[in-house]
Structure 1
Amino acid sequence: MQSGLEFWAPHVAAMEQESVATAEYAKRHGLALHSLYYWRHKIKAAATQTSGPPERSSAFVALTVSEPVLAQQRPGSCTLVLGPGVRIELPALPAPEWLAALGRAMHGER
C-alpha cells in the first residue's frame, strides 16, 4: 500500500506541470479536493524547509579602482592620514590643541 506522500506527490507534480486549477485537477482524477489542497501545501512546505532560507546578500560591495583618484582639495582644507585606509577630510585646518588631543587619543593617552 502506498503512503500518503507516495500517492499525492505525483498528483501535485502533475497538477503543477499542467498549470491547471486544483479543483479541476481533483475533479478530473476523482480526488478529494480538500486532500489535494492539504498535500499540495504539505509538499510545498517540506520543499521550502529543505531548501533553507534564501541567502542574504552583503550590504558591502567590493570595489576595484584601476587608476588612482586624486581628490580636488579646496584651499584651506586639510586631509589627515592616520594609517592605512584611515583618512579624515576637514574643511579647514584644525586648531593645534585639537590635533594634539587627537594624537594623544591615537596613542591611548588622555
Structure 2
Amino acid sequence: RKPTPDIATVLGGGWIASGPPVASRQPKPAWPQGLRTLPREGAGEVQTPLQGEAARSLRVGDRVWFRHAKSGELAERVERYLLVDDDRVVGEAPTYRGEGKAFL
C-alpha cells in the first residue's frame, strides 16, 4: 500500500537474525536500490514500511527483495530458495527445512 507518496508498505520483510535485536541483524531492502526501513519500524514479518527515492515509484504489486543478515533465519522457514537472474527464475535449491532437517 502507499500511505504517502514517499512511503511504500510491502508485504512481509523478513525475519530478524538471532541474538540481540540490533540494526545489523535486521533484514535490509536490497532491490530496488534507494529503499530503507523507517527508524522506528524496521523490517516486519507481516508488513514493512519503506522510504527513499525508490519508494516514490513503487506501485502495489511491485516486487522488493530483502537481504537477510543470516541465511538460517530464512532457511528454517522456507523449503527452497529460488535462484533468480534478472527477472527470471533460473533454478532452485533446497534449504535444510526442505531436506527434512531441523537444527534446534
TM-score, normalised by the number of residues in structure 2: 0.19
TM-score, normalised by the number of residues in structure 1: 0.18
Rg larger in 1 or in 2? 1
Identify the structure with the greater strand proportion.
2
Question: Does 1 or 2 have the higher relative contact order (CA < 8 Å, sep 6+)?
Answer: 2
